[in-house]
Structure 1
Amino acid sequence: MTKDVVALTPRMPDPWSILAGLLSGGPDKLVNTAGEGAVVQLCDASGRPLVSVEAPLLVQVAGEAERLFGAAAPPVPFWWTEARATTGVAEAERLAGTFAARVAALAGGTVWPPEAALSLAVVASEGVGLAPAPAAAQPAVDVLTDKVAVVITDRPVVAMTAWLSDAFRAVAAAERGLQIVSPAGATLSPAVRDSLPGWPSRWVVQDEQEGYYDGRSGAVLRWQEGMFAPVASPGATEDDPDTPVAAAFREFADTGERQLAVTFRTVRPADERLVLGGALEALWCELTGGPPAGWGSAEPANLPWSPARLTDTAFARAPEPSWFVVVGSPERPAHATVRITRTKAGVEEDVTVAFGYGADEEPPLEALTRAAEVLATRHHLQSMLVQLRKARRDLAVPPRFEGPGVPLAFVLGAEEALALPDDRARRTPLAQQPLALGPKARPAFYYALPGDPSDLSGWSDFERLVRHLKGS
């Protein structure tokens, strides 16, 4: 049985459809809203949550259901209504499935996973009522200890959903780690991989042979002292723990697929005319021939790409920072995260973006210098690093070893280059001298690096370059 269920419908589920779904627990149950109307939750007589339902979300970006579920969805726009059942309670799992099935039946759609929609019958339950606060506060968290919050999910792609995003914020405020438990074969969205902090946070993968292992490092894990932690090999010491690595993590096959990954930062003065997202759009257009497909504050990315709307959202949240996810079309897989922060220097945009290519596709490496010049001359680029790596075209992160990327280029913005003494930005220890971008009086610099995916020596060159620029 599933824990997360999603109804995908061409029509918005009206209040009566939602009510009919929630009455899967029986016609005598009362329903109310929580979380300022964004979440409805049912729980048993003891206050234990059974099912939490988010308000329907209008998705206007093609390919998001396929990317996150591998499921066919109605043509865009369509409505995404998500329910999460409490882990390990069979009654809750059946109730979530029946809820979604009723909503889909009334609004003319489908349910993921398909087996969750097998029955429209009332689910037998005792003492079901509304969840009182604070039981409704964190429906994504399944286990809470003094060290970590544990989220158990059965999704094929662990994405940065609104549920999970709330859990990230909650554990950060509580100074706990976040441990995400998924089944074998599941993958991570790049947004989750890049947001998951260090120890004791982990991606915990279930495995028939080892029980559990870390999906990012391969370390075999066990539940001990209130969290999942690595198992020490026999004879290990405190100085040399010698943690065994799961066999499933070591499986590797070179399919010829690659990813072009770019991380960059821009810093611009804050004023009323500032439009955010322009640098990312410019890079996207240079490398793919068109702008991003969509964006949102969580996954699925539900809104058509619009720098103006993104700017309005970020300004409404200021002075608090904003985080967004940006996606490409199904034909050209691409995924980005954008963090916008107000600082003394102005408005900073920190962007991480990756584009996926199949074995028969060539990444547009010839467009990199042009893209760098556009960002440097028009978008106040501070720095940019470009990498090429052997990894999946669909950008999903598997629980297996993937080789590190290799650096193709580093770009230093004009203001940063001007601040360096002794023409340091222009004269470097690298064999190939940098390419000046933009005006001769205030150029940015493009430093080309070897970029051979089978040779990691490019990182040595990058390290030498960084030490030189820092004067160390």
Structure 2
Amino acid sequence: MTKDVIALTEGVPDPWSVAAALLAGGPEPGVRTTGRGAVLQLCDRDGVPLVSVESPLEVRVPGEAERLLGVPLGDGIGWWTEIRAATGVPGAERLAGAVATRLTGLLGGAVWPPDVSTEDGLVDVSDVTATEPPELPAVDVVTERAAVILQDRPLVAMTSRLSEALRTSADTDRGLQIVTPGGSRLSLPTRTLLTGPPTRWVVRDERCGYYDGLSGAVLHWRDGSFAPAADARGETLVADAFREVGHTGERQLVVAFRTALPATEDLVLGGGVEAAWRALTGGPPAGWGAAEPAGLPWSREELTSLARRRSPRPTWLVVVGAADRPGIATLRVDRAPEGVAEEVTLALGYGPGERPPVDALPELADALASRSGLRSLLCQLRPARSDLSVPPWYEAPPVPLAFALGPEGVRDIGLARAARPPLAGSPLRVGPGGRPGLYYPLGDGSSHGDGWSALDRLTRHLRGAAPVTA
């Protein structure tokens, strides 16, 4: 399995320090760049990559490195450098550890995981036997149908490498398949981008071999990709490990919404996700980034600048909260007929006995409808881990709490019809008084069947007049 090593340094990993770290393999190996210059590769005499060093990321958000690695780190850690050993190359993991050790020795800091650190930061590269590199540099195994990444981390985050692998596999009409041990979990951003077969989370299991960590289907390697196995009757087998679930009393509050505002010169993005954070936690987000770790302190202006540079291409971002209140969101910015659209999915975690701020949801809908161009909002509650990671076993689906339509949606349907849904209670008016949106309570989250039944009746009623996206 691929070994990813991370150098967590106090000083800036400038080109000179990275070059010195690469000399941990001795003076003979060659160095080349790939990934549009974002990755340095240490190669053997034949030019075959042994170790890849990603561009360093500055992490200025307290607790972000600890969230992803699960270990406490010193306050001085400011830079995150991924160092990846080549797949199936004997000695490559030791070489990656040597590079990380040399880098942290020069700049201060720590190597993760600690057990790959070498005493002096030196390895003779002539002891490392290489094989031919894969067709796609960001992945470990490539077939006509799948791009496979092997990950041995406690939490598989949407790093720049994984994001690049997802992009390149899609560009080549392949499914991305991430293979992990049974003890690994996914971060919420990684989960949101694994959108279905042939893209999969493949979990190794001693009893059945492999299974899908999101559906539980037992998987076999067939025709160049992992695919579900069936029994004699043709029914998909479900792994025992996926069924073994216990209820801890932890919950997640999930809000997903879409906003759109005119594309003016003075438009500043991120207002909706900040409004959601303030309404539900009392403060703004802590940080953001184009991948995990989300190392930049929260700034709507910097976020807007990045999206402008990437336009007209869409921009996908991660937003994180403070360490004392687990919170993470994905934000997608794209052009739309209405101007600039932002699609947000925000999850907040709560431990046993904690009460999610359900009473603040109408206030949130009002803020989004008044200032952020709300189109639609769906609020849900689910029994799931408070740290917001995704385990490889069954988790109950969310229960709808409320749905909201922005002023534009209410106008298209007609206020008379939209204000009289087939529900027990009446909707609340939100947003501008003369051009309101509507907030529809659907229940208290205690009954799965009642919540979804209410949402189904509501959306059928609204769609009877005009197309509505929930």
How many angstroms apart in 1 are the aligned matches of 2:243 and 2:411? 46
Q: Are residue 126 (structure 1) and residue 126 (structure 2) matched?
A: yes
CA contact (8 A) 1:151 1:179 kept: yes
User: How far has the Cα of 1:285 moved from its partner?
Assistant: 0.5
How many angstroms apart in 2 are the aligned matches of 1:463 and 1:368? 20
Match of 2:194 among 193, 196, 212: 196
Match of 1:283 among 266, 272, 276: 276
Q: Are residue 22 (structure 1) and residue 22 (structure 2) matched?
A: yes
CA contact (8 A) 1:333 1:393 kept: yes
Q: Percent identity?
A: 55
Match of 2:396 among 403, 406, 413: 403
CA contact (8 A) 1:161 1:298 kept: yes
Q: How does 1:65-464 map to 2 (within 5 A)?
A: 65-75=65-75, 78-120=78-120, 122-126=122-126, 138-236=136-234, 242-421=235-414, 423-464=416-457
CA deviation profile, 1:47-91 (whole Å, cap 9, x unmatched): 432111012211101111111111222326611111111122122
CA contact (8 A) 2:377 2:403 kept: yes
Q: Which amino acid aligns with 2:288?
A: W
How many angstroms apart in 2 are the aligned matches of 1:148 and 1:361? 42
Deviates more, 1:30-39 or 1:148-157: 30-39
Could you say what the CA RMSD is over the residues aligned between the two structures, in angstroms? 2.1
Q: Which amino acid aligns with 1:72?
A: P
CA contact (8 A) 2:90 2:129 kept: no
1:312 match: secondary structure: helix
How many angstroms apart in 1 are the aligned matches of 2:334 and 2:350? 31
- Unaligned runs of 5+ residues in structure 2 are 466-470
**Normalized against structure 2, the TM-score is what?**
0.95
Deviates more, 1:324-333 or 1:111-120: 111-120
- Unaligned runs of 5+ residues in structure 1 are 237-241
Match of 1:239 in 2: none
Count of matched residue positions in the alignment of Structure 1 and Structure 2:
465
2:381 match: secondary structure: strand
User: How far has the Cα of 1:226 moved from its partner?
Assistant: 0.5
CA contact (8 A) 1:13 1:56 kept: yes
User: How far has the Cα of 1:43 moved from its partner?
Assistant: 2.6
How many angstroms apart in 2 are the aligned matches of 1:163 and 1:230? 27
CA contact (8 A) 2:50 2:130 kept: no
How many angstroms apart in 2 are the aligned matches of 1:63 and 1:76? 12
CA deviation profile, 1:231-252 (whole Å, cap 9, x unmatched): 111232xxxxx11111111111
User: How far has the Cα of 1:93 moved from its partner?
Assistant: 1.2
Q: Which amino acid aligns with 1:276?
A: L
2:416 match: secondary structure: coil
CA contact (8 A) 2:375 2:409 kept: yes
Q: Which amino acid aligns with 1:234?
A: A
How many angstroms apart in 2 are the aligned matches of 1:87 and 1:32? 18
CA contact (8 A) 1:71 1:112 kept: no
Change (3 A) 1:137 1:7: farther
